[in-house]
Amino acid sequence: MGVLNVTPDSFSDGGRFTAREAALAQARRMVEEGAAVVDVGGESTRPGAQPVSVQEELDRVIPVIESLVRKVAVPVSIDTAKPEVMRAAVAAGAGFINDVLALRAEGALSVAAEAKVPVCLMHMQGEPRCMQENPQYQDVVSDIRDFLAARVAACEAAGIPRNQLVIDPGFGFGKTLEHNLELLRHLRAFTALGLPVLAGLSRKSLIGKALGLPVERRLHASVALALMAVQNGARIVRVHDVAPTVEAIRMWEAVYSPKAQET
């Protein structure tokens, strides 16, 4: 899954038209490099980020989704927690909902049920503005597994079939460095829920904390983390740098499952 941020700071070369063209070019490049999904996000969920209005988020993401759906050959994912944005994005052709709130916003469960597209349920403790202040768990792995199991049950009760769900422990969302490292070591525990596991580690602050690297120097560690996630059971990795990640994973497949090379 390739990350396509459409926040004002990401493609800020003036008017809306050039921004859309730049987003499309970036998406095409990620697909050429091997991305199987492009994840479009219009709200920054980085630690400390301020929320944006529904209208602002719609203005950012809907024109980009409309053009991607016509011009790229892979499903387009909408990274949002807002039900209004989910509904408009799916109407515009998005084929996947990626929700960092795991459909906990008011109305999100019913919108997702009506959308009839696959949904990623991510765990977050707290909210982006303050989630990194003092994250606490009894047992980070079982607490998050129980949370995700409960959200899966809520989805099924709302009419979303289980086979449409993906789960994600939410690296960096209300977790200390130690929490994140323990989750990665025990990622396979999440596969016990019988659903595909998604892992988003690309460029995240845990790399900065572990290695003392600024965001622009986190590529190599990001590739290493994506590969570790795949080794530990992840079926989808959400990354900014598609080509190097795909190469690393293809090499891993060549070693461990030679049949994958024939397809």
Q: Measuring CA to CA, which residue among 94, 196, 206, 79 is closest to residue 148?
A: 196
Q: Which stretch binds ligand YH5 (CB under 6 A): 157-165, 188-196, 197-205, 243-251?
A: 197-205
Say whether residue 123 binds ligand YH5 (CB under 6 A). no
Residue 238 known to be catalytic: yes
Out of 30, 122, 148, 229, name the contact with ligand YH5 by CB under 6 A. Answer: 122
Tokens read off for 164: 């449409």
Binding mask 149-188 for ligand YH5 (x = CB under 6 A): -------------------x-xxx----------------
Name the H helices within the chain.
Answer: 16-32, 54-71, 83-91, 108-115, 140-157, 177-185, 205-211, 219-231, 242-256
**Window 1-40: residues binding ligand YH5 (CB under 6 A):** none
Q: What is the DSSP string of 189-242?
A: GGGGGSS-BEEE-TT-HHHHHHH---GGG-HHHHHHHHHHHHHTT-SEEEBS-H
What is the rounded end-to-end Cα distance, in angstroms, of the chain? 19
Out of 61, 152, 198, 249, name the contact with ligand YH5 by CB under 6 A. Answer: 198
Out of 2, 174, 203, 223, name the contact with ligand YH5 by CB under 6 A. Answer: 203
Binding site for ligand YH5 (CB under 6 A): 45-46, 79, 98, 100, 120, 122, 168, 170-172, 198, 200, 203-205, 215, 238
Which residues are annotated as catalytic?
204, 238
